[in-house]
């Protein structure tokens, strides 16, 4: 039996995983991954190669080969090759990052 979703937002699981890439903020590392599921606030990724030694506290999830579709992320959890990420956004008032708030919450 699967544990209940703790995100609090609706999740969309893909029948076939979507290819993507994880890229460090400074561009020093990149890892291929697949997008397993996604919600307004985050996603679950599957990484085939090792992430040992990488700084996963903040990175880009690139969803297109041209780099035009991407999200800034932070690590939420890590379980072997599965990674949970939280999407970040710029706070327009203070210019600092903050966790995304689902559209139906005010």
- Are the CB atoms for 39 and 7 separated by under 8 Å? yes
Confidence of residue 99 (pLDDT cuts 50, 70, 90): low
Say which range, 2-6, 12-16, 67-71, has the weakest mean pLDDT.
Answer: 2-6
* Residue range of the domain that includes 71: 17-93
Burial class (CB in 10 A: 0-12, 13-18, 19+), 20: buried
Which is more confidently placed, 88 or 13? 88
Total domains in the fold of the chain: 1
CATH number at residue 21: 2.40.10.220
Query: What pLDDT, on the 0 to 100 scale, is given for residue 75?
Result: 93
Residue 100 lies in a domain: no
Is the pTM higher than 0.85? The answer reads no
Q: Is residue 4 part of a domain?
A: no
Establish if 10 belongs to a structural domain.
no
Please indicate, yes or no, if residue 5 is contained in any of the structural domains.
no
CA 17 to centroid of chain Cα atoms = 14
């Amino acid at each position: 039996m699967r544990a209940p979703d703790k995100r609090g937002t609706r999740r969309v699981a893909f029948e076939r995983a979507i290819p993507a890439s994880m890229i460090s903020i400074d561009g020093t590392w990149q890892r291929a991954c697949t997008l397993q599921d996604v919600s307004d606030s985050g996603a679950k990724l599957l990484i085939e190669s090792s992430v040992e030694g990488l700084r996963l506290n903040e990175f880009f999830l690139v969803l297109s080969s041209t780099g035009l579709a991407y999200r800034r992320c932070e690590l939420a959890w890590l379980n072997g090759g599965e990674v949970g990420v939280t999407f970040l956004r710029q706070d327009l008032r203070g210019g600092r990052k903050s966790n995304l708030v689902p559209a139906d919450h005010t």
